[in-house]
Amino acid sequence: MNLFAYTRAASIAEAVTAAAEPGAAYLAAGTNLLDLMKGGIATPSRLVDITRLPGLDAVEPQPDGSTRIGALVRNSDLARNAHVAKTYPMVAEALLAGASAQLRNAATTAGNLLQRTRCAYFYDPASPCNKREPGAGCQAIGGATRIHAVLGWSEHCIATHPSDLCVPLAALGAQVEIAEAGGRRTVPIGDFHRLPSDHPERETVLEPGALVTAVILPPEAAAFSGHARYLKVRDRTSYAFATVSAAAALTLENGRIGAARLALGGVALKPWRVAEAEDALTGATPDAEAFSKAAAALVAGAKPSGPENAFKIELARRTVVRALTLAQAGTPARMPALPASPFSHAAGALHA
Amino acid sequence: MSIPLRLTVNGERRDLVLEDPRVTLLDALRERLHLTGSKKGCDRGQCGACTVLVDGRRINACLALAVSLDGASVETVEGLANGDALHPVQAAFIAHDGFQCGFCTPGQIMSAVGLIREMREAGESVGDAADVERVREGMSGNLCRCGAYAGITEAVVAAARAEAQAGEKAA
């Protein structure tokens, strides 16, 4: 790990100023950053510790029906928050399907959005990587690509975003609140992460020094609490990143779908949400045919980034159909003992 | 650079001066305070051998910067037993043969202590097959290269049930 200067920020304004300095990085829990620093993948010259910033660690239901989630709310606290578990159950399920309990107790909401890809070539300083060194090339292309992207990738980068949390947040149309030198603004989470295109090193819309202060779930997101599931297909039953995951939420009215929310994880460098897929469900009878149509619309244009990941397209389609089928059946009263697992048959903890 | 750091470790106040901000909580415990129960397995947050409780919650000590935890309360495996009387989770690991070589055991035990607290706080019961699945999921951040998982799971389930029963009697 390189030597770095350490600053403990006392205010958001102080943090934004300190972090705008070239080479500076924010430190919250550090569960991803320290790992990257130990591997020589991240080498910040200054860490700006934001863990003592006041007012960023609360989950606050708002009068307009939206919910403000502070940037520093820990994953486990967010998942166990009674309001979140009841109102946005697929957010809780996705969180509890991610990482290990130790990591969830430390990792923060904003840190989850900003975690880096788990591409093995990105993690290996000996491999050329356009994210680490723009223009160096991509060793993943033509390499071992089983976990890589099938949507939205470019000839410069085929990595995926590893977050579980971001998938239901994207499906529910969350807004990301950002503090920067000029003030505060909010960005839809769908626009927050960038696809690799020609600049895989630019991962989000954040400018230097910009600080994520909150994630806001809009009022309409609460309508889906009764029929919402997150489904995560992974190589191990627990403590593994998604091979493919899906967040699916429905409102049902008189035997028909009123509204639908759908997003895929593990397939692209951002959660994948397509309006046509949700439109295909609106007003439809909730059956296998409608779910298949929506799944096809969601993966439209998918293309393997290597021969080893062609299977992910069909897997994604089936995962979406299964997630929709589970959502239709209704949010379980108790969180499954193995959250989001296709192998979980027993109900475990109370949802809220 | 010298950075003052105050921790409460196993109930005792410890004042440290770090000459380098790179010191992790794990290194502070092992190298500065000579509490070597917490183990450095992978040092990358993958194995759980370094699990300790910070402000009552289990975390990976290898992925936390000590300087960031100024003022925190830390519980390590050294603080569990009361004299010669083992903590119930320690006793359960012996009773159920929850280890072989022992390297991952302090992390397993601290993780189990944290899990049982989490289950208690969430009002989760420990009484049927689903809870065994819940315990296995809850302990998945702790690897055991000897493969003593069967005994570990039995030990944690037994300790959780014993605590739940004790809690019911107390109530």
Contacts of A47 in chain B (CB under 8 A): 21, 65
pLDDT above 70: residue B170: no
Interface check for B114 against chain A (CB to CB < 8 A): the answer is yes
Task: Name the DSSP class of B132.
Answer: H
Domain boundary among B52, B79, B106: B79
Locate B132 and state its tokens: 């065994």
Minimal CA separation from B94 to chain A, in Å: 24
Phi, psi of A197 (to 5 degrees): 45, -135
Q: What is the average pLDDT value for chain B, to the nearest integer?
A: 94
Specify the pLDDT at position B163: 84
Contacts of B138 in chain A (CB under 8 A): 101
Domain check: are B16 and B70 in the same one?
yes
Specify the pLDDT at position A351: 42
Specify the pLDDT at position A348: 45
Domain residues for the domain of B129 are 88-170
Specify the pLDDT at position B123: 81
Specify the pLDDT at position A342: 86
Domain check: are B38 and B94 in the same one?
no
Specify the pLDDT at position A336: 87
Domain boundary among B79, B113, B135: B79
Distances (CA, A) of A149 to A110, A154, A252: 23, 9, 33
Strand (E) or helix (H) holding B151: helix B149-170
Which sign does the torsion angle of CA A147, A145, A300, A203 carry?
A: positive
- CA-nearest residue of chain B to A29? B64
Please identify among residues 75-104 of chain A the ones whose CB lies closer than 8 Å to any CB of chain B.
Answer: 76, 80, 99-103
Angle at A183 between CA A178 and CA A184, to 5 degrees: 30
What is the three-state SS of A144-174? CCCCCCCCCCECCECCCCCCCCHHHHHHCCC
> pLDDT tens digits for A68-122?
999 999 999 999 999 999 999 999 999 999 999 999 999 999 999 999 999 999 9
CB contact under 8 A, A105 and B58: yes
Domain check: are B56 and B125 in the same one?
no
Q: What domains lie within chain A, and their CATH numbers?
A: 5-49 (3.30.43.10), 222-342 (3.30.390.50)
Strand (E) or helix (H) holding A265: strand A256-265
Domain check: are B20 and B66 in the same one?
yes
Contacts of B133 in chain A (CB under 8 A): 337-338, 344, 346, 348
Domain check: are B93 and B63 in the same one?
no
Specify the pLDDT at position A350: 41
Domain check: are B71 and B97 in the same one?
no
> pLDDT tens digits for B34-49?
999 999 999 999 999 9
Instruction: Considering only the beta carbons, identify the residue of B20, B124, B141 that sits closest to A102.
Output: B141
Domain count, chain B: 2
Long-range contacts, B76-83 (Cβ 8 Å, 24+): B76/B9, B76/B10, B76/B29, B76/B35, B76/B37, B76/B38, B76/B52, B76/B106, B76/B110, B77/B37, B77/B38, B77/B52, B77/B106, B77/B109, B77/B110, B78/B10, B78/B35, B78/B37, B79/B9, B79/B10, B79/B11, B80/B109, B80/B110, B80/B113
| B107: CATH | 1.10.150.120
Domain check: are B47 and B106 in the same one?
no
**ipTM of the shown complex:** 0.97
- CA-nearest residue of chain B to A79? B122
Q: B111, B133, B153: best mutation site toward chain A, by most A Cβ within 10 Å?
A: B133
Domain boundary among B16, B48, B79: B79
Size of interface A-B (CB pairs under 8 A): 113
Interface check for A333 against chain B (CB to CB < 8 A): the answer is no
Tell me the mean pLDDT per 10 residues along chain A, length 352: 97 97 98 98 98 98 98 98 98 98 98 98 97 98 97 98 98 98 96 98 97 98 98 94 98 97 98 98 98 98 98 98 96 90 61 40
Interface check for A337 against chain B (CB to CB < 8 A): the answer is yes
User: Alpha helices of A7-135 — where are they, by DSSP H?
Assistant: 12-19, 33-38, 75-80, 82-87, 89-96, 101-106, 109-114
Domain check: are B160 and B128 in the same one?
yes
Contacts of A344 in chain B (CB under 8 A): 133
CA dist., res. B19 & res. A59, Å (int): 37
| B65: CATH | 3.10.20.30
Interface check for B123 against chain A (CB to CB < 8 A): the answer is yes
Interface check for B41 against chain A (CB to CB < 8 A): the answer is no
> pLDDT tens digits for B3-38?
999 999 999 999 999 999 999 999 999 999 999 999
CA dist., res. A340 & res. A323, Å (int): 9
Domain check: are B67 and B109 in the same one?
no
**Do β-strands B51-54 and B57-60 pair in parallel, antiparallel, or remain unpaired?**
antiparallel
- CA-nearest residue of chain A to B44? A35
Interface check for B72 against chain A (CB to CB < 8 A): the answer is no
Domain check: are B51 and B108 in the same one?
no
Interface check for B111 against chain A (CB to CB < 8 A): the answer is yes
Q: A84, A95, A105: best mutation site toward chain B, by most B Cβ within 10 Å?
A: A105
Instruction: Considering only the beta carbons, identify the residue of B59, B133, B142 that sits closest to A106.
Output: B59
Give the closest residue to A148 by CA, choosing from A321, A340, A313, A323. Answer: A313
Contacts of A27 in chain B (CB under 8 A): 65, 68
- The separation between the first and the last C-alpha atoms of chain B, rounded to the nearest angstrom, is 52
CA dist., res. A249 & res. A170, Å (int): 12
Specify the pLDDT at position B126: 67
Interface check for B141 against chain A (CB to CB < 8 A): the answer is yes
Domain check: are B18 and B57 in the same one?
yes
A155 vs B163, residue with greater confidence: A155
Domain check: are B129 and B148 in the same one?
yes
Specify the pLDDT at position A337: 85
Minimal CA separation from A57 to chain B, in Å: 15
